[in-house]
Structures are given as structure tokens and as C-alpha cells.
Amino acid sequence: MITTTVDTILNRALAGEDLSLEEGIVLLLQTEPEAITEIQETANQLRHRQASDLVTYVINRNINFTNICEQHCSFCAFRRDAGADGAYWLEWGQILEKAADAVHRGATEICMQGGLHPEAKINGASLPYYLQLVKTIKKDFPELHLHAFSPQEVQFIAQQDGLSYAQVIEALQAAGVGSMPGTAAEILDDEVRRVLCPEKTNTATWLEIVGTAHQLGMPTTSTMLSGHIETPQQQMGHLEKLRSLQKTACDRGYSSSITEFILLPFVGQEAPKPLRSRVGRDQPILSDALLLTAVARIFLGNWIPNHQPSWVKLGLECATEALIWGCNDLGGTLMEEHITTMAGAIGGTCMEVETLQNAISSVGRPYQQRDTLYQLIIDN
Ligand code: SF4
């Protein structure tokens, strides 16, 4: 039986109004199949209105230049200490080879992130090393969009070199970084962050760095790591902070803002034992991820129209289903995904364009390649 409250909330959303945090929590707490179907249908309707029926994808490649990291996030199966088994740090030539291969395979984007490696320096400074990463790719492939360096990496560089966040972002931008991944957000709640990533930026700093990027004309994405120790209240608090950040960018007339929202359900299979045991499961609960996908569309869609599921975390079948729960994008080909795959994800490390296209067609929707900033690429 659908409660009047759920009906009222969904009708408000369909009337174009922004839901309150409390209304979002009510939706997330629904367990009756009938109510969940109403939420899914509302999200699907809003997706159609806010982002059309077209489903987009991007041809991109991940380059994770090192997994050596000074931090110890409790969910991370990717990091290694220097010299440990499985630790790696790519040479400049290897980075260039990967970029060349990506271009050969039609990529328009390189997504570049890495561990926080204190020895990744040139002349004793961190920023020149990161600038060299950018220049190594942009020199030979100026047309490639570099979607690079999370707010956490920006903070790391700033701390290493005694610079402001704005100085770091401006320098990266001038070297050729086109946008910032909205990763390292996990859950924007300091209570959760103390367990998940105690050494990372706190909530306020993450928001400050992303807000600074927007102010400086650098677009960002936004993400949420869900399905671990967080509560529905904390999930909605996270979405509320993203919405508020986006409203600020719009209200202040910044030329850049958040381009998309990506839900990243927690994969625990190879994660460090304490968190894995506490969460008590290895793979995401798909029904939870789909409900959260729908609520994110309903809550954020007026402000962030592009929503993407993670086929790496969910598997392609569930990511395809997410297209009828509010998503309008199926993400990227990635070509090599390490971070989540090392955590035990079953979605795979690479996706062929045709596979993404067939998945989109299977739900009766048209598809189109896009670039990082959601401009459609009509002719290759
Ligand atoms: S999530 Fe990032 S910052 Fe945290 S330990 Fe892993 S590589 Fe390091």
C-alpha cells in the first residue's frame, strides 16, 4: 500500500519542486514493492523530462599512474606501500603508450588518478610531477580531454608544496587538465569519513576544493560511495551537499559546475578485512543501489541532469537496468579499470563500444557517443 506521504512527495517532484532531505529519507526507507515501483517510475519520468530518452557513453581510458599511497582508506584494495608486492609506478613512456593506444581505439578522454605517493616529485616538489603527467599526454595528444586528479590529489599537492587549492587547480588547468573527477567524496559526512578514510580531506575541504574548481572554470563530476556503513540520513545529507554545491555554482554564475552524478556502490570482496567484516557482504545489494539511483535522480535531477551507473561495480546487467531507474548515461569504455577490480568487482575492466550500445538498445533507448562534458559526438 503506497502511503499518502510517498504519493505527496512524488507528486511534488513531478511538479518540478526540489524535495527536502527529510522527504528523500522517506523515499529511501520504503520497502513495499508498490511504493518502490512508484519511486522507480517517477525517477524514469523525470529522467525523460530532464535528460531525454537518449543514453550516452564516452570512449575513455583510465590511467592510474601509481598505486603507491601514503593513506590507508579502510575500503581500498588498490593501495600499496612502496616496495610491497603489487606496487607499481608507471614510467613516462608507459603513460604515453597507454594514451597512444587509447587514441588509436577512439578515446576522447583520459581519466587519470593515482595513489598519493610522497616520492612523486620533480626537484623536490609535487606539483611539477603532476604537471609533467599532464604535459606528457597533452604534448602528443592535445585533443584528448584530461579528466584528472581528485580533490584529494589537489589537497595532497597543496600540502606537499605549501600551495593554496586555487594555485594547484589553476596550474593543472593551465597545463591542460579539462575537468576534475568528483571522487574521494565517499560519503560527505565526517562521522562516516572517520571510519572510511580518516586521512582524507574532511567534508568541508572536499566541498571547498570542488567549489574552487567551479569558481576557476573547471568542471567536475560528483560521486557517492554507497552501501557500507552509512545510514539513509547520511546518504541524503551527501546528496543535499552536492545539490547545494551545484546551486552555488549556478547562483554565482560560474562557467563550470557538476556535469554528472555517479553512484558507486561499495564492493568489499578484496577490501581490507575490518571494513569488509563490518559491512558483512562482498558485492553490492543491487536493489538498494537501484532505489538509491532513483532517489538521486528525483532529488538532484533539477540541478544535475546527467546520472550514470557504474557497470564496474554493478555489472553491466544491473547498470543497464539503472537506465530505467533514472540514469541517462552508461559511462565509459575505461579500457583498463584497476581500482574497483582489485576490490573484487565482477563488472570487468573494459567495455567495448558495441557492448555498451547493445546494452542501451536492450532497454529500447537510442544511444550516442558524447565527450567528457556531455557534448554529443555525431561524427567520428
Ligand atoms: S582510496 Fe585513494 S587515498 Fe585512499 S588508500 Fe586508496 S589510493 Fe590511497
- Residue whose Cα lies nearest atom 3 of ligand 1: it is 71
Q: What is the pLDDT of residues 255-301, one digit of tens each?
A: 999 999 999 999 999 899 999 999 999 999 999 999 999 999 999 99
- Assess whether pLDDT exceeds 80 at residue 2: no
Q: Across all residues in the chain, what is the average pLDDT? A: 96
- β-sheet bridge partners, residue 56: 329, 368
Q: Rounded CA gap, 24 and 204, in Å?
A: 22
pTM over 0.85: yes
- Assess whether pLDDT exceeds 70 at residue 332: yes
pLDDT cut 70: percent of the chain above it: 99
How would residue 1 be classed by pLDDT, with cut points 50, 70 and 90? low
- Residue whose Cα lies nearest atom 7 of ligand 1: it is 115
Question: What residue ranges define each of the domains in the chain, with the CATH number in brackets?
Answer: 53-370 (3.20.20.70)
Q: Please give the DSSP secondary-structure letter assigned to residue 89.
A: B
67, 79 Cβ separation under 8 angstroms: yes
Mutation test of ligand 1: which of 79, 200, 228, 340 has the most ligand atoms closer than 8 Å to its C-beta? 79
- With a 6 Å cutoff on the Cβ, whether 69 touches ligand 1 is yes
- β-sheet bridge partners, residue 58: 332, 370
- With a 6 Å cutoff on the Cβ, whether 152 touches ligand 1 is yes
Distance 373 CA to ligand 1 centre (A): 26
Mutation test of ligand 1: which of 74, 78, 223, 338 has the most ligand atoms closer than 8 Å to its C-beta? 78
Q: Which atom of ligand 1 is nearest to the CA of 69?
A: 8
Q: What is the pLDDT of residues 40-95, one digit of tens each?
A: 999 999 999 999 999 999 999 999 999 999 999 999 999 999 999 999 999 999 99
Contacts of 248 (CB under 8 A, 6+ apart): 211, 214
